[in-house]
Amino acid sequence: MVNILEQLVELQKIDDKIKTIDNLLVSLPEEIKAHSMDMDKAKEEFATFQKEIEAKKKSRLQKEKEVEDKNAAVAKAKTKLHEIKTNQEYTAALKEIENLTAAVGLLEDEQLELMEEVDSSASKQEELKKKVTEEEKAFSKIKSENDARIAEVKSEKDALIASRNDIYARVDNSYAKKYDSLLKSRAGIAVSELKEDICTVCNTTVRPQMIVEINTGSAIHTCPSCSRFLYSPRLFQTAS
Ligand SMILES: [Zn+2]
């Protein structure tokens, strides 16, 4: 009886370790993914900002062209002024020149504003670029560290599974099956230590007769409340 319980406790220790590794096999790739997303976000922000700058540069050039066209139109209108015969036409031509000149002024203001925006964006652009470099570094660091750790825990898990199979094969079949079903139905914990008169997992008080039998190893009992195998660690010390 003592031997069976000892094996079950050993199985539980191994299963605890496997559970920890399984959690790592979820969290380590998640951490890599999170860094990858941070990196992508930084790259996207940088690219978006660059696109905005390019659009401003393009718009500035367009306005430059418009200014040229309008200035040409003003020059042309001016040369034609002396050909005009009536006062009415002359006034209209002057009005047109005035309108064109006003439009040129407005375009030049807009052009200047765009130029200033492009110039002042240099530091923000640099900052965003730096952020990309930082995120790339952080990603590459975490990727190589976590990949190495993943490989390490995978081989640890293989070794644990091997020793689990080894022990499992030696456990009396009915107890092994019960252990497995408890492991599934009881959140991965199939055995519980009895401390004084209490099941340490669910805190239920166990009746005295059962305590005696558990402490002497004369019978295998399960907790009356959580159904887990109960064991007394003192028993293993005296038995071994
Ligand atoms: Zn219990």
Q: Is residue 214 part of a domain?
A: yes
- Residues around ligand 1, an ion, CB closer than 5 A: 199, 201-202, 204, 223, 225-226
Q: Is residue 186 part of a domain?
A: yes
Together in a domain, 137 and 229:
no
198 alpha carbon to ligand 1 midpoint, in Å?
8
What is the DSSP secondary structure assignment for residue 63, as one 8-state letter?
H
Together in a domain, 166 and 217:
no
CATH number at residue 30: 1.10.287.1490
Total domains in the chain come to: 2
Torsion of Cα atoms, 177 then 220 then 211 then 222, to 10°: 20
Phi, psi angles (nearest 5°) of residue 187 = 50, 40
Residue where a domain terminates, one of 155, 171, 187: 171
What is the pTM (predicted TM-score) of this model? 0.78
Q: What is residue 195's three-state secondary structure? A: strand
222 alpha carbon to ligand 1 midpoint, in Å?
8
223 alpha carbon to ligand 1 midpoint, in Å?
5
79 alpha carbon to ligand 1 midpoint, in Å?
104
What is the DSSP secondary structure assignment for residue 194, as one 8-state letter?
E
212 alpha carbon to ligand 1 midpoint, in Å?
17
70 alpha carbon to ligand 1 midpoint, in Å?
90
226 alpha carbon to ligand 1 midpoint, in Å?
4
pLDDT by position in tens, the chain (length 240): 778 999 999 999 999 999 999 999 999 999 999 999 999 999 999 999 999 999 999 999 999 999 999 999 999 999 998 899 999 999 999 999 999 999 999 999 999 999 999 999 999 999 999 999 999 999 999 999 999 999 999 999 999 999 999 999 999 999 999 999 999 999 999 999 999 999 999 999 999 999 999 999 899 999 999 999 999 988 886 544
204: left (phi over 0), alpha (psi -120 to 50) or beta: beta
Together in a domain, 155 and 84:
yes
For residue 50, what are the domain limits? 19-171
DSSP string for residues in 52-90: HHHHHHHHHHHHHHHHHHHHHHHHHHHHHGGG--SHHHH
Q: How far is CA 192 from CA 3, 13, 132, 143, in A?
A: 16, 11, 51, 38
Residue where a domain terminates, one of 130, 155, 171: 171
16 alpha carbon to ligand 1 midpoint, in Å?
18
230 alpha carbon to ligand 1 midpoint, in Å?
8
Give Cα 76 distance to the centre of its chain: 64
17 alpha carbon to ligand 1 midpoint, in Å?
21
237 alpha carbon to ligand 1 midpoint, in Å?
22
235 alpha carbon to ligand 1 midpoint, in Å?
19
CB atoms within 10 A of CB 212: 11
CA angle 146, 149, 153 (to 5 degrees): 140
The encoded tokens of residue 19 equal 């559970």
Together in a domain, 61 and 91:
yes
